[in-house]
Amino acid sequence: MSLVLIIFSVLAAITLATAFLTVFSRNPIHSAIYLVVCFFSIAGHYLLLNAQFLAIVHVIVYSGAIMILFLFTIMLMNLNEQREVHKPRITRLGAIVSFCLICLVLLAIFVNSKPIVGDYTTTGEDYQSINVLGKVLLNEYMVPFEFASVLLLVAMIGSVLLSKKEKLEK
């Protein structure tokens, strides 16, 4: 076995394990930490694909900024198991059925997919260049980029307002 295949297998195992732990962990802080580990392992996959810039941006944006925002939101809302409302059995059954149906559809798509056969044509343009990515991001995708930043700001303000304690009147 080659070294790349071993590294890929280890990263895939870490990604799958931490993704499942993120979903099935009862403690929200532990879920957020598992998600950070999952994000780092996905960045390792990007490195294996020789996309260093995408790996670094992934670590900075997801593991850094968004997970810090999630952790602050979780800490401000003071989520714990005692106040968690237990879902009725029919809701759990519906979630399990939906999950199984989605898995079956994805498995059917995977089994019926065919690899692309043909010549790979290159244009000669380097799409991984920071210069090219910067031009595309700040010219063509400027508005969605700004909408995403405003959305994150509104979500953070909303979480602070939701977690704000009401003062008792005397």
Written as one string, the DSSP assignment of 96-135 is: HHHHHHHHHHHHHHHHH-----SPPP--S--TT-HHHHHH
Rg value, the chain, Cα? 21
pLDDT score at 97: 92
pLDDT score at 10: 95
The three-point CA angle 71-13-48 to 5° equals 90
Residue 97: CATH number of its domain: 1.20.120.1200
* Structure confidence by residue, pLDDT tens digits, 26-72: 887 788 889 889 999 999 999 998 888 888 888 888 877 777 777 77
Amino acid at 92: R
Q: Is residue 103 part of a domain?
A: yes
CB within 8 Å of 167: residues ≥ 6 apart: none
pLDDT score at 71: 73
Range of the domain at 65: 3-109
The number of angstroms, rounded, from the C-alpha of 21 to the middle of its chain's C-alpha atoms is 14
Q: Is residue 138 part of a domain?
A: no
More confident residue, 94 or 160: 94
Q: Is residue 57 part of a domain?
A: yes
- Count of H-run helices and E-run strands, the chain: 7, 0
Structural domain count, the chain: 1
pLDDT score at 50: 82
- Does the pLDDT at position 84 exceed 60? no
Q: What is the mean pLDDT of the chain?
A: 81
For 8-36, what is the mean pLDDT? 90
